[in-house]
A and B are shown apart, each in its own frame.
Chain A
Amino acid sequence: MNMNASLLSLAIWVPILGAVPVFWIGSERRTLVRWLALAVAVAGFLVTIPLYTGFDTALSGMQFVEQTPWITRFNVEYLLGVDGISMPFILLNSFITVLVVLAGWEVIEDKQAQYMGAFLIMSGLMNGIFSALDGVLFYVFFEASLIPMYIIIGAWGGPNRVYAAFKFFLYTLLGSLLMLVALIWLFLESGGSFNILDWHQLPLGIKPQILIFIAFLISFAVKVPMWPVHTWLPDAHVEAPTGGSVVLAAIALKLGAYGFVRFSLPIVPDAAHQMAPMMIALSLIAVVYIGFVALVQTDMKKLIAYSSISHMGFVTLGFFIFNAIGIEGALVQMISHGFISAAMFLCVGVMYDRMHSREIADYGGVVNTMPKFAALFVFFAMANSGLPATSGFVGEFMVILGAIKFNFWVGFAAATTLILGAAYTLWMIKRVVFGEVANDKVAKLKDIGNREFLILGLLAVCVLAMGLYPFPFTEVMHASVDNLLKHVAVSKL
């Protein structure tokens, strides 16, 4: 048996099992706990690297497949596998986890062991979501990941954390419970299989297709989040600690979008085609309307949260215009947004740690006291508004191209984001970073240290590399996306 055979299991269970000693040591021995958590996170990232290096880009099917019976009573299997669509997210997730552990190095003073452990567990569960090919296994990971996030928001969050934590949990649970019913229905309809790949081949009438699509839609739309079920996100982001916001924005939001590609499009393609106009409309509302909403925010985290919703609108738009460049663009956008939103939240976190305020009005002239930080912050802001040569440009550009191919006016509406995104991000930057030093507190700010520089620097390298040379990212997903499109084009009726 070669090493490749259990790589995905390692990606899932190394962080989860690694969290056990972290909890065990307890928060009293801070130094040990931190270094151990970092070691686990790094190990968790290292085991995912062979997934990329050993990936065969010519294949469109699942790779690194693991299959063992899990619940024979209901024919549920422990079935893991990745294709070009899901593999990058496992790497992204494991990478972000390392940064999150680093970001919580000093600022988390209360129950640090539990904080680190919760993130490690969540990292493993997220990897499970991206690699599960069995409906129940997917659902189990999907829902279990709510537990650590609930605790993270509620235990280490801001003043209104309890409200935010409940809202986050119940909103997401609402969606996933309906998905559970749909999964069971599919199990019975397919004659007793929970294998997602079997479901891809399952012929279905249009009426059940629409119902299943709606069940999945509610579940994934809450997670993405799409307008109008997005209202939990600003609350959760604002109240969550920096690490929580980072994981939410960089990874958790991608789960919903990933669900569309893995479930909605291939399982119910006809319903997806029929519902596409609605999906496109909702996506455009997210892009344009939420963009305007972001413009008027006074709280930096809230602004970035709305900007996330707006960017995720691009992703769903890319999926439902059904052409290769749109879907690939959406996937690139997902990864790029993973880097950029993580960086933006970390930047706000850096300032919040020093000033304990997220209000834009409390800042001004930060560049005078924190030049190194300001340079990075401005760079990420540019990336967030889609500046060419950053990763933010590639994804948006591809989706807009795809959208124009589909319909000029859809593409036109989507393109307004380039103006809106630049407007809200750069206006915030202008008010926070530039200008005169606003008050004494800003005057006393200390620039970022080596640890913070390392975190942000790594992300900056990723953003730049992906913007200048996106080929390694698009290369791996190409075959899988083609395959998906071919599959979606065939009617199941």
Chain B
Amino acid sequence: MLNNFVTPDLYPAAPEIFLLLMAFLVLFVDLVFGATHRWMAAMLTVITLFGCAAITLVTSDGQTTLTFSNMFVDDLLSDFLKLMTYLAVIMMLVYSRQYMADRGLDKGEFYVLVLFATLGMMVMISAANLLTMYLGLELMSLSLYGLVAIDRESPRATEAAMKYFVLGALGSGLLLYGMSMIYGATGSLEIGGIAQALYQDQAERSALVFGLVFLVAGVAFKLGLVPFHMWIPDVYHGAPTAITMFVGSAPKIAAFAMALRLLVYGLFGIAEDWQQMLLVMAVLSIGLGNLAAIAQTNIKRMLAYSAISHMGYMVLGLMAGVVGGRVEAFTALNAYSSALYYTIAYVMMTLGAFGTVLLLSRAGYEAENLEDFKGLNQRSPWFAAMMLIFMFSMAGIPFFIGFFAKFAVLLAAIKAGYTMVAVIAVMFSLVGAFYYLRVVKLMYFDSPVDSAPITAGLDLRVLLSLNGIAVAAFGLFPDQLALICYTTLARSL
């Protein structure tokens, strides 16, 4: 028995291994020095993520390597998505440093849970097997449930965590059920093996489609698409703002990877079936997300509904890869790279928007109502301009990155022949423009109600400025990022 054991090639999984070891180290450091030197855990966490980035960059060779008996894949796509994940997590940590410290939440658990969640995302991104995918997903989700409830005193956060847990567990259950059906239909847990079985037409059709429905539902749960979006507003609203920022940013990258790996890598053979489901959910998400966001008075809730609509747009790109059952490499690449581009753009904008919310929060005060943005232009013209950039970018107004992301998705959708869907999508973004404009209105046209000076630290100010400038600069020069997304996918598919 032991003779058959092949030592797996650990090299492709080096970032994950490094992160796991460092997470234990953080846990240990916190145990020993946590009471006296809180900064050590924070510092180590950031160093870990930079270390992971360095390892990912060094080990990236552009080749697709499978390891751990084909359960784990390291390709250009996974490297790129992981780098984006580290970036988002580091930004989140810098943004939230003062917020968490002011509320006494910057405990060791926070950093350890963030690291474990990141590890979960990395495993999801690199999953080449349904089990690996599920493992990564659960690691991420369970860490996130814990993070949402990190403020033990807050009943609202506890309630949110409870909802998140129950609904998230339901979503995972659906996903797992779908996976088992697909295993039954194709006889393989490997994503490559499933694709192979579909290609050779060996799959049991009815079980396959049945499983697909559950699988898509599970993915939709994690992305937060209508009608599986119920948890998003409550979790965004209930969690401490810094955690909301975390839940709303990096996991979207992982969820995108999950959708891509399962549906495109694995189930491309029945793309026509999942395309229809995604189409319906995309349109519903864009519609409901934008409409419901109008009624919100809490900016976190507003951004939650906006997240739903943004994920709708992303999925619109994702479903446009196959035209009428015909597979064309160029169209498919166009569509998937537009979805990837949208995800990156969205994460960048959402970090900035929540960053501004954190900027206005201070010890003992949560700036989470729209009213808190009143007259920001008088309190700080620079940060009002940054928020203006984020809002117009989210609304899809040029010259900001959000416009080009929408543009790429619309182009893919129209190319796939969904012109009417594109028209519906742009009409709902008109609706969406209203509530983004409202934030700008509050900042520029109204007088401040809260005239307290902005006390946020220099790190947050610098990062927020860089974030805003990046959203504008990637809008003025959108070519590089679009090309990177395109080539990454071209070399990994």
Is there an interface contact between B399 and A74, defined as CB atoms closer than 8 Å? no
A72 touches B483 (CB 8 A): yes
CA distance A161 to B444 in the complex (A): 12
Closest Cβ–Cβ distance, residue B283 to chain A (whole Å): 15
Q: Which of B416-431 contact A (CB under 8 A)?
A: 419, 422-423, 426-427, 429-430
- Residues of B contacting A: mostly: helix
Given the interface contacts A71-B482, A146-B397, does A177 sit within 8 Å of B429 by beta carbon? Answer: yes
**B429 CB, nearest partner CB in chain A, Å:** 7
| A241 and B445 alpha carbons, distance in the complex (Å) | 14
> Does more than half of chain A's interface fall in helix, strand or loop, or is it mixed?
helix
Q: Write the residues of chain A forming the contact surface with B, with a CB cutoff of 8 angstroms.
A: 23, 26, 69-74, 111, 114, 136, 139-141, 143-144, 146-147, 150-151, 154-155, 161-162, 165-166, 169-170, 173-174, 177-178, 180-181, 184-185, 187-188
Contact A169-B437, Cβ < 8 Å, known A180-B426, A184-B414? yes
**B422 & A181 in contact (Cβ 8 Å cutoff):** yes
Q: In the complex, what distance in Å separates the CA atom of A150 from the CA atom of B377? A: 15
Contact A71 B410 (CB under 8 A): no
Distance A71 CA – B415 CA, assembled complex (angstroms): 18
B407 is contacted by which of A26, A136, A162 (Cβ under 8 Å)? A136
State the 4 A-B residue pairs at the shortest beta-carbon distance, nearest first: A140-B398, A73-B482, A177-B426, A154-B445
Q: Could you give, for residues 444-457 of chain B, a 1 whenever the CB lies within 8 Å of some chain A CB and a 0 otherwise?
A: 11000000000000
Q: Indicate if B486 sits at the interface (CB-CB under 8 A).
A: yes
A-chain residues with CB within 8 Å of residue B423 when the two chains form the complex: 178, 181
In the bound complex, do residue A169 and residue B433 qualify as a contact, i.e. CB atoms below 8 Å apart? yes
Complex Cα–Cα for A185 and B437 (A): 28
Give 21 CB contacts A-B under 8 Å. Answer: A26-B381, A73-B479, A74-B408, A111-B377, A136-B407, A140-B399, A140-B403, A146-B397, A154-B445, A155-B377, A162-B445, A169-B437, A173-B433, A177-B426, A177-B429, A177-B430, A180-B407, A180-B426, A181-B422, A185-B414, A188-B411
- Does B478 belong to the interface (CB within 8 Å)? yes
Contact of A144 with B479 in the complex, beta carbons under 8 Å: no
A-chain residues with CB within 8 Å of residue B111 when the two chains form the complex: none
Is the C-beta of B441 less than 8 angstroms from some C-beta in chain A?
Answer: yes
Residues of B within 8 A of A26 (CB): 381
> How far, in whole Å, are A169 and B437 apart by their CA atoms in the complex?
9
Across the interface, which residues of A come within 8 angstroms of B426, CB to CB? 177-178, 180-181
Closest approach, in angstroms, between the C-beta of A429 and any C-beta of chain B?
A: 34
Instruction: Give the distance to chain B from A178, nearest Cβ to Cβ, in Å.
Output: 7
B441 A187 Cβ-Cβ under 8 A: no
Q: Which of B399, B419, B433, B440 contacts A181 (CB 8 A)?
A: B419
B95 lies within 8 A of chain A by Cβ: no
* Apart from A146-B397, A147-B392, A184-B414: 14 A-B pairs, beta carbons within 8 A: A71-B478, A73-B482, A74-B408, A74-B411, A136-B407, A144-B397, A150-B440, A151-B444, A154-B445, A170-B430, A170-B433, A181-B419, A181-B426, A187-B411
**Interface membership of B404, Cβ < 8 A:** yes
- Assembled-state Cα–Cα distance A170/B408 (Å): 22
- Known contacts A146-B397, A147-B392, A154 near B441 by CB under 8 Å: yes
Does B274 make an interface contact (CB < 8 A)?
A: no
Q: How far is the CA of A15 from the CA of B398 in the complex (A)?
A: 18
Instruction: Give the distance in Å from the alpha carbon of A214 to the alpha carbon of B3 in the complex.
Output: 73
A187–B411 Cα distance when bound, in Å, is: 9
CB distance B479 to A72 under 8 Å? yes
Query: Do the beta carbons of B414 and A143 come within 8 Å of each other?
Result: no
In the complex the two chains form, is A154's CB within 8 Å of B414's CB? no
CB distance from A77 to the nearest CB of B (A): 11
CB distance from B490 to the nearest CB of A (A): 12
Write out the residue numbers on chain A whose beta carbons fall within 8 Å of the beta carbon of B411: 74, 184, 187-188
Asked if B434 is at the interface of the complex by the 8 Å CB criterion, the answer is yes
**B397 contacts across to A, CB distance below 8 A:** 143-144, 146-147, 173
Query: CB < 8 Å: which of A162, A177, A188 contacts B415?
Result: A188
Complex contact B398–A73 (CB within 8 A): no
| A151: B residues at CB distance < 8 A | 440, 444
* A144 vs B389: C-alpha distance when bound (angstroms): 11
- Contacting pair B399 A144 (CB below 8 A): yes
Contact B441 A177 (CB under 8 A): no
- Residues of A within 8 Å of B408, CB to CB, are 74
Residue in B381, B397, B415, B434 with the greatest tally of chain A CB atoms within 10 Å: B397
Most buried by A among B397, B398, B411, B444: B398
B430 touches A173 (CB 8 A): yes
**Contact string, B387-403, partner A, CB cutoff 8 A, digits 1/0?**
01000100001110001
Closest B residue, CB atoms, query A177: B426
Contacts of A23 in B (CB 8 A): 381
Q: Is A166 a contact partner of B437 (Cβ separation < 8 A)?
A: yes
B39 smallest CB distance to A (angstroms) = 35
Nearest CB of chain A from residue B81's CB, rounded to whole Å? 19
Measured between beta carbons, the chain A residues less than 8 angstroms from B377 are: 111, 114, 155
Residue of A nearest to B395 (CB): A173
Q: B410 and A181: CB pair below 8 A?
A: yes
Contacts of A161 in B (CB 8 A): 445
CA of A73 to CA of B377, assembled, Å: 37
CB within 8 A of A73: which of B381, B399, B437, B486? B486
Q: Give chain B residues whose Cβ lies under 8 Å from the Cβ of A69.
A: 479
Residues from chain A with a CB closer than 8 A to the CB of B410 are 180-181, 184
Pair B430/A73 contact, Cβ less than 8 Å: no
> Contact mask B18-30 → A, CB, 8 Å, 1/0?
0000000000000
B439 to chain A, nearest CB (A): 12
> Nearest CB to that of B444 among chain A residues?
A155
Q: Which of A26, A111, A139, A144 has the most CB of B within 10 A?
A: A144
Nearest CB of B to A292, in Å:
32
From the candidates B398, B399, B414, B479, name the one contacting A188 in the complex (CB within 8 A).
Answer: B414
Min CB gap B143→A, angstroms: 36
Q: Which chain B positions have C-beta within 8 A of A111?
A: 377
Closest to B479 in A: A71
**Within the complex, what minimum Cβ distance (angstroms) separates A146 from chain B?**
7
Contacts of A169 in B (CB 8 A): 433, 437
Q: How far, in angstroms, from A136 to B399 measured CA to CA in the complex?
A: 11
A141: nearest chain-B partner, CB-CB: B398
